Structure 1
Amino acid sequence: MLRGNYRILSRVARRHASSNTLSSKYELTCGLEIHTQLNTKNKLFSMSSNKSFESLAHPNINASYFDVALPGTQPVLNYEAVLFAAKLAVSLHGTVNINSQFDRKHYFYGDQPQGYQITQHYHPFSKGGYIMLSKEFDGIDQDLSKINITQLQIEQDTARSSYLHQSLIEGREEALIDFNRSNVPLIELVTEPDFHDVKQVKAFIKKYQNLVRQLHISTGDLETGSIRVDVNVSVNEHPRVELKNLPNTSSILNAIKYEYKRQVEVLEGGSLGGSKAVETRGWDGEKTTLLRSKESAVDYRYMADPELPPVTLSPDVLVNVKKSLTQSADDCIRELMAEPYNLTLKDAKILTIQNDFNDLYNNEEVRQYYLETFNIYMLLLKDDNKKKPKIIVSWILHELLGNLKKLEIPLKKLNENMLPPELFAELLVLIHKQIISNSSAKMLLFHILEEFKANDCVKVENLDFKALIKKYDLEVQTDVSKTELEQNCRDIITELNNPKMIDDIKSGKKKNSLKYLVGLGMRKYQGKIKVQELENMFKQILELE
């Protein structure tokens, strides 16, 4: 469990981090222990609701008798947590233990009033497995790096301690316990010590976060504590040191860098000092500090929990879990980057990796909406050799999702009640055929979404873009005389009164400035003219090829 207050990384810490490059003489070796809160309906061993304790207005309002360890209460296993563990284990290519067992890990602390934590030590839920990292998708230095998983176990979370100074006069500190988090189901994942640089650690955490989000078993957020990471660090022959109190990715990476430097100086007898000992150290935002000497398994007096029977799974469960799993993120990205989609790595990742976890949409919904829109758009323009399918991803990611965020409209409601992919594809076809300009289409889209929101997202029948374009007089003009167009373009250049920009366009120094002139032209014509006509006229006036 992570405890303590966190300070913003100071300039001192940044200096340590930036100067702490890895030396070929001293090899960094890291292993991770990742605790993941599961978003099951109920807690692990009670019927208490498993609402995010962060969202609860008051402490201790979501805790049962078992959660607060009232004498005589007994645990009842929530099998939804077992199902979530099975999904994760199978996705990680692990070997699921058909007969796993819960054990008691004994220690006393105020946030664990039972005097022990229920976990899995002797017979964990799963062993083995791996996550593959690559230079192509994950930004590591190696072409491929396989990070092996030691085991995966189910356990209960602890309560949360809050420390308050009771009185400046008395000078004592009071600890308050909030049991809203007590008994929240966790999966602890332990990796092998396969990390040898911080890029691998960063890539692994990001990939793991995306995996649990894709499986819908956790929000995967470090900042809210849904995922908590402890790091085991060792340099050369220095004993392993466990780092705790790591609230986010930047803290994890900076703590590893600092600890690497500290251990190197210990080995060389330097100023950061300390003994070569197995320790648990914390991160205070600037440096790692000693918390305690590292406990061994004997200290915890593990024993099989006498109140919980073994968790026995039917082989059919794992078969069904495998069938239910969706395509892996890497395979999905490869597919989107290949024919016929030809997306960039950046756009393929956005459609695949859930970085923006919210209630309006998830990456699977967006990806499905994109794929359906793509297929319909390509079908409608199957005989058009000039079709530009890249318009689809651009409009969905930037215009559509941007408007949904601004207006707080769920994509699912939009899809079901007003703008399914077949209608959105029709709008994109009208843009492609220059029946409506890009800028006018943006205004029209926002207008209809705004009305949809104002009407409480009630189902809209027979949305007709052609009729709306005609109603609001948004059709691109096809009868603009060349004389009128030339005069307007010359007026724009004169009113701009920027000879330097014009000279730079002519000399080729600022070719993109031509787009600025075209934009001014579109504004003058209120978006009702073809972009190409404006661009050709400006080129003619400025004598550009």
Structure 2
Amino acid sequence: MLRFARCYSLARTKVTRNKSTPFRPEYALKCGLEIHTQLSTRNKLFSQSTNSTTSLVDAPNQHTSFYDIALPGTQPVLNMEAILFAMKLSLALESQVNSVSQFDRKHYFYGDQPQGYQVTQHYRPFAQGGKINLSKELDGIDELSKDIGILQLQIEQDTGKSHYTDTEKDVITLVDLNRSNVPLIELVTKPDFSDIKQVKAFIKKYQNLVRHLHISSGDLETGAMRVDVNLSINEFARVELKNLPNTSSIIDAIKYEYQRQVELITGGETSSLMEPETRGWTGSSTVKLRSKETTIDYRYMPDPELPYINLAPDVISGVKRLIPQLPDDIMRMLMNKPYHLSLKDAKILTYNSNQNDMYNHEALRTYYLDTFCEFSRLVDKDGSAKLPTSWIIHEFLGDLNKLQIPLTNAQEILPPAVFAQFLRLLHVETISPTSGKLLLFHILENFKKSNCQDLSVPNFSKLIKKFGLHAINKVNSQELTEFCNDIIAQHTDDTFKQNLVSGKKKTSLKFLIGQGMRQSQGRIKASEFEKKFKEILNIQW
């Protein structure tokens, strides 16, 4: 790594901490976001270097070219895939893609920017306008609906990564240029946020959108998405908050800065809020980095080595046709007929956490929709929505996670048409839910034991017969009475019976029913046990 020394100081302000930090109407919060998003292109923005998603853990300076390290005489060559990704995001946000945009040089010297300037779009950005809609229904904000406006989107190159090491004399900085020249989209919102819920909802929705479009991992933890906050209170000067590594830091920093400014206002110290300043986040407080007087003059100028980006109208309209159905539309579809999913379940099929390798939201949603369609052909449509939801989203997915089987593998032995047949067995009560859980786990466990190599489709009838899982629909009354009497003898005493019969502890009946279901392996319906226990114990309530 490259090495150089750096010294700095931080000015601190003491603030009385309030964990709840209420936002008061007489101190109106006005907030906007600047979000830098790394694009997941194959190559970097202006070179053929690999754009590695693991660059932070790879060997330092491994993914670099002569241009990335600013070797004299090297020239940029624009990666058109970055233009495609930027256009997809702009159109998904309903932004106006400019037919002509340009690259500019933002001059400053720092070790992780070896060119002495950063290529960005200052004068003529890639796109302007647009919005993201937040709603009470889908995002949990207090307002029924709120649009967060977009000022602009611009393409720029990322800088390298600095790693600081303290020594006895100074701070030594090690520079890794793996990230240098990685393509970024900088999105700047209007100052439309007025509370924390809106900020959290926007970040989550935007993060999911870039994943949904397959243009970025959107991970805050790895730096693939980085957020700066601009805020003011009661129209005082704007304060920019930087160095916010994750959502919790963003929220905590906003709360802290809000309270700090409120205390300055109530204490009559508003003079310090008259000039814009930039503050950093230490993890517990905001600290002053620079004020208006110390703002860097970046000396922007058009980049003489890069031509304008000229986009023909048919190019923009062509890319627009590539935009998939957007997450909000998908969720509303899933929450309405014929699926009737809850918001929580709809989000499981729509929001990609990007942290679970067992499945992704698109593959799982496709599997669910295909299975639902196949199942609907096999049974009456009325009342058929609940089984695919509970058994795919909860039981099936839970088993895959427990056994660490990727969905792509599991689909080979349980394709939608086969899983629909399994659901039909539950629908017509050939097997009980308890038996169904045992059968499903057994099939997946055996598949796992074969190292996911045994692709033979399971024979449900044979397995049900082999393990005696067939539901008992016609129960012999005398045998059931004896079975229930044994359970009562094993698990109750006189006090238990008195409390149950009197209705003092009605939940005790559920306990007995649960014992019956467990010992019968779920082959006898819970309603049969309830009826028989009430009959034996003479329960009138």
Farther-moved stretch of structure 1 (47-56 vs 131-140):
47-56
Write out aligned runs for 1:81-230 (5 A): 81-166=82-167, 170-230=168-228
SS of equivalent residue, structure 1 residue 409: coil
Deviating more after overlay: 148-157 vs 526-535? 526-535
State the 1:120 CA deviation. 0.8
Larger displacement relative to structure 2 (223-232 or 473-482): 473-482
Secondary structure at the aligned position of 1:110 is classed as coil
Residues 128/519 of structure 1: CA separation in 2 closer, same or farther (3 Å cut): same
Q: Does the aligned pair in 2 maintain the 1:262–1:273 contact within 8 Å?
A: no
Deviations 1:32-70 (A, max 9, x none): 000111111111111111112456342222222222212
What are the residue-to-residue correspondences of 1:402-421 with 2, within 5 Å? 402-415=398-411, 417-421=412-416
Instruction: Quote the offset at 1:502 in angstroms.
Output: 5.5
Contact (CA 8 Å) 1:54, 1:224: kept in 2 or not? no
Q: The residue matched to 2:528 in structure 1 has which SS?
A: helix
Which residue pairs with 2:317 in the alignment? Answer: 319
Shift of 1:208: 0.6
CA distance in 2, matches of 1:215, 1:294: 38
Shift of 1:298: 7.7
Alignment pair present for 1:58 and 2:59: yes
Secondary structure at the aligned position of 1:16 is classed as coil
Worse-matched range after superposition: 90-99 or 311-320? 311-320
Map of 1:46 onto structure 2? 47
Match of 1:540 in 2: 535
- Uncovered stretches (5+) of structure 2, i.e. residues with no partner: 1-5, 7-13
Aligned to 1:9: none
Question: Could you tell me how far 1:91 is from its partner in structure 2?
Answer: 0.5
Q: Deviation digits for residues 139-170 of structure 1, max 9, x if unmatched?
A: 1111111110000011111111111123xxx3
> 1:391 maps to which residue?
387
Larger deviation, residues 59-68 vs 420-429: 59-68
Q: In 1, Cα distance between the equivalents of 2:362 and 2:224?
A: 21
The counterpart of 1:340, out of the listed 332, 338, 345, is 338
Alignment of 1:424 with 2:422, yes or no, is no
The AA in structure 1 aligned to 2:487 is I
Q: CA deviation at 1:242?
A: 0.2
Cα 1:466/1:121, change in 2 over 3 Å = same
Q: Does 1:291 find its partner at 2:292?
A: no
For the residue of structure 2 that corresponds to 1:405, the secondary structure is helix
Between stretches 83-92 and 313-322, larger displacement belongs to: 313-322
Q: 1:477 to 1:75 in 2, by over 3 A?
A: same
RMSD after superposition: 2.5
Distance 2:163 2:367 in 1: 45
Where 1:18 maps in the other structure, the secondary structure is coil
In 2: Cα distance, 1:509 partner to 1:43 partner: 71
SS at match of 1:352: coil
Cα-to-partner distance string for 1:181-224 (whole Å, 9 max, x where unaligned): 11111110000111111111111111111111111111222222
Matches within 5 A, 1:356-395: 356-382=354-380, 387-395=383-391
**Conserved 8 A contact 1:161-1:175:** yes
Correspondence for 1:488 among 483, 497, 508: 483
Distance 1:139 1:59 in 2: 42
CA distance in 1, matches of 2:375, 2:57: 45
Q: For 1:412-434, what per-residue CA distance to the aligned partner results, in whole angstroms no more than 9, with x for missing partners?
A: 2322x211111111111112222
Distance 2:293 2:454 in 1: 61
2:492 aligned partner: 497
Partner of 1:8: none
- How much does 1:312 deviate? 1.8
Paired residue for 1:460?
455
TM-score after normalising by structure 1: 0.90
Residue 530 of structure 1, aligned match among 525, 528, 534:
525
Distance 1:268 1:302 in 2: 40
Distance in 1, matches of 2:504 and 2:135, equals 39
Cα distance in 2 between the residues matched to 1:223 and 1:513: 48
Distance in 1 of aligned mates of 2:234 and 2:34 = 20
Q: How far off is 1:506 after superposition? A: 4.9
Question: 2:465 matched to which residue of 1?
Answer: 470
CA contact (8 A) 1:103 1:305 kept: yes
- Secondary structure of residue in 2 paired with 1:359: coil
Unaligned runs of 5+ residues in structure 1 are 5-11
Q: CA deviation at 1:357?
A: 3.9
Does the Cα contact within 8 Å between 1:219 and 1:226 map onto a contact in 2? yes
- Following TM superposition, by how much is the alpha carbon of 1:17 offset from its aligned partner in structure 2, in angstroms? 4.7
CA distance in 2, matches of 1:223, 1:544: 59
- Alpha carbons 1:156, 1:184 under 8 Å: kept: yes
**Aligned 8 A contact 2:31 2:194 in 1:** yes
Aligned residues: 528
Q: 1:294 to 1:405 in 2, by over 3 A?
A: farther
Confirm whether residue 251 of structure 1 aligns to residue 254 of structure 2: no
Instruction: State the Cα distance separating 1:532 from its structure 2 match.
Output: 3.1
Moved more, 523-532 or 368-377: 523-532
Q: Distance in 1 between matches of 2:75 and 2:536?
A: 85
User: What CA deviation, in whole Å up to 9, does each residue of 1:88-143 have, x standing for no partner?
Assistant: 10000000012111111111111111111111111111000001111111111111
Between 1:446-455 and 1:63-72, the stretch displaced more is 446-455
SS state at 2:248 partner = helix
Distance 2:505 2:326 in 1: 43
Deviation of the 1:322 alpha carbon: 1.8
Taking only the aligned residue pairs, the percentage that are identical comes to 56
CA distance in 2, matches of 1:521, 1:475: 16
User: Secondary structure, in 3 states, of the residue corresponding to 2:19?
Assistant: helix
**Is the contact made by 2:56 and 2:178 (CA closer than 8 Å) also made in structure 1?**
no
- Measured after TM superposition, the shift of residue 534 of structure 1 is 2.4
